[in-house]
Structure 1
Amino acid sequence: MPAYHSAFNEETDVRLIGNLSLLPFKTKIRGVAPIAEPGATDIIDETLDLFRANSLFRNFEIKGPADRLLIIMILFISDCLSKIAASRTPPTQIEATKLLNTLAVDSFPLPGDANFQLNAHYAAPPNRMEADSLRQYLVHARQETAARLVEKLYADGTGKPSKWWTCFTKRRFMNRSLGN
Structure 2
Amino acid sequence: MPAYHSALNEEPDIRQVGNLGVYPIKTRLRGPAPLAAGNEQGDIIDESLDLFRANSLFRNFEIKGPGDRLLIILILFISDCLAKLGSARTPPTQIEASKLLNTLAVDNFPVPGDANFLLNSHYAPPGSRADADYLRQYLVQVRQELAARLIEKLYADGTGKPSKWWMSFQKRRFMNRSLGT
TM-score by length of 2: 0.98
Task: State the 1:56 CA deviation.
Answer: 0.2
Q: How many Å separate the matches in 2 of 1:39 and 1:33? A: 19
1:112 and 1:20 map into 2 onto residues whose CA distance is 11
* DSSP-derived class of the 1:168 partner: coil
Counterpart of 1:97 in structure 2: which amino acid?
S
Tell me by how many angstroms 1:40 deviates.
1.3
**Other-structure match for 2:162:** 161
Q: Does 1:45 align with 2:46?
A: yes
The superposition leaves residues 78-130 of structure 1 with CA deviations (integer Å, 9 ceiling, x where unpaired) of: 00000000100000000000000000000000111111010000000011000
Question: Unaligned regions of 5+ residues in structure 1, if any?
Answer: none
1:131-170 aligned at under 5 Å gives the runs: 131-170=132-171
Q: Which residue of 2 aligns with 1:6?
A: 6
- Is 1:117 matched up with 2:102? no
Aligned to 1:130: 131
**TM-score when scaled to structure 1?**
0.99
- 1:73 CA drift (Å): 0.2
1:64 paired residue number = 65
Task: Name the CA distance, whole Å, in 1 between partners of 2:180 and 2:39.
Answer: 32
1:100 alignment partner in structure 2: 101
| 1:33 match | 33
Q: In 1, Cα distance between the equivalents of 2:26 and 2:123?
A: 25
In the other structure, the counterpart of 2:174 is 173
The 2-side partners of 1:40 and 1:12 are apart by 16
Instruction: Work out the percentage of aligned pairs sharing the same amino acid.
Output: 75
Q: 1:173: Cα distance to partner?
A: 0.2
Q: Secondary structure at the match of 2:16?
A: strand
What 5-or-longer segments of structure 2 have no aligned partner? none
4+ aligned runs moved over 4 Å, structure 1: none
CA distance in 2, matches of 1:28, 1:157: 24
- Mapped partners of 2:163, 2:20: distance in 1: 31
**Which residue identity lines up with residue 176 of structure 2 in the other structure?**
N
Residue number in structure 2 paired with 1:84: 85
Name the aligned partner's letter for residue 19 of structure 1.
Answer: N
Q: Secondary structure at the match of 1:77?
A: helix
In 2, the alpha carbon distance for the partners of 1:56 and 1:8 equals 21
The alpha carbon displacement at 1:30 in A equals: 1.4
Considering only aligned residues, what root-mean-square deviation do their CA atoms show, in Å?
0.6
How far apart, CA to CA, are the structure 1 residues paired with 2:29 and 2:91? 26
Q: What amino acid is aligned across from residue 176 of structure 1 in structure 2?
A: R
